[in-house]
Amino acid sequence: MDGTAILAQGLRKEFKSTVAVDCVNLEVRTGEIFGLVGPDGAGKTTTIRMLCGIMPCTSGDAIVAGIDVFENPEAAKRRIGYMSQRFSLYGDLTVAENIRFFSDIHHIPRAEQAARGRELLQSSRMTQFTDRLAQNLSGGMKQKLALTCTLMHKPEVLFLDEPTTGVDPVSRRDFWKILYNLVSGGMTLFVSTPYMDEAERCNRVALMDKGRIIRCDTPDSLKQEMRGDLIEVVCSPQKTARDLLSQASGVISVQIFGDKLHVWVKSAQRDQQAVEAALKRPDMQVEYVKQISPTLEDVFVSMLSGGTAEVD
């Protein structure tokens, strides 16, 4: 296979009158960690299911691991792995029984199953839990088991649909260590995630919204694409402050991030004083106003809200 692991052209999926995926073009390089990020309902899961040959497209083409997934989906499935959002293993089977069951589906010889299973369980630190029922595993361990079962047939391309949603931070970190090891072994990963810190780990990221790819580039390049500077404000009442700052001179956009306001301005050096002046009111309590470096989450929120306006 050449340097392209996934190639999608004009991918479209319609459900009656709803367009879930609209003319998606993607090229993922072999050995790359490619991230797909977007809000709920953006079309991420539908895109992944089409690329895996699980769901037919309305129109378009997709080549994965050198195989046309719509003309020959069964051949494609032998070369790819797919881990869905929800825990899809059998709770009333043990860890070892789940691994054996999914290995048998892929017609993996029993001798090879044992060796491969040991290797994967060791890498995920699950060896001591082989006799535990899957339903009695923690969230992080369930995801590790699902990944182990998905990897038993040694896929060339691995699709992961929000694999760490609901998993604790420590387990998320362990899970990504496993993914890095897979990539170092030559595997290609296609990951959808709601976590921006995970998106930062990808070689390239595509932002998806309303069925379309809005931007696709490296995390660093996407952050450099943003024009202007970012000022962080902590104050109360927050909503009043947001309304005031939206009218301030030099402000491009204002977004709420938890207990903070992220204010995009044309120039922090020039406009921070106007931001501070807008908040000088008797009813406003300001904890701090400071310039910060944008995260990928700032970039994506700004892009989705149309806050990428050019600056003077």
Residues 58-108 have pLDDT tens digits of: 999 999 999 999 999 999 999 999 998 876 789 899 999 999 999 998 899
Residues 202 and 230 in one domain: no
Residues 195 and 233 in one domain: no
Residues 246 and 169 in one domain: no
Residues 79 and 159 in one domain: yes
Percent of the chain with pLDDT over 90: 66
Residues 291 and 257 in one domain: yes
Domain count of the fold of the chain = 2
Residues 156 and 263 in one domain: no
- What are the structure tokens assigned to 183, written together? 């990539």
What CATH number does residue 253 fall under? 3.30.70.100
pLDDT in tens, 247-288: 998 998 898 988 999 999 999 999 999 999 999 999 999 999
pLDDT in tens, 115-155: 999 899 988 888 999 999 999 998 888 989 999 999 999 99
What CATH number does residue 63 fall under? 3.40.50.300
Residues 206 and 232 in one domain: no
Q: Which domain-ending residue is among 218, 242, 265?
A: 218
**Dmax over Cα atoms in the chain, in whole Å?**
75
User: What DSSP assignment string belongs to 59-91?
Assistant: EEEEEETTEETTT-HHHHHTTEEEE-SS--S-T
Cβ neighbourhood burial of 4 (10 Å; 0-12, 13-18, 19+): middle
Residues 14 and 125 in one domain: yes
> Which DSSP helix (H) or strand (E) runs through 179?
helix 169-184
Instruction: For residues 16 and 29, give the distance between their C-alpha atoms in angstroms, rounded to a whole number.
Output: 33
Q: Report the predicted TM-score, pTM, of the whole model to 2 decimal places.
A: 0.85
Q: Does residue 166 register a pLDDT over 50?
A: yes
| Domain-embedded: residue 69 | yes
Q: Which domain holds residue 55?
A: 4-218
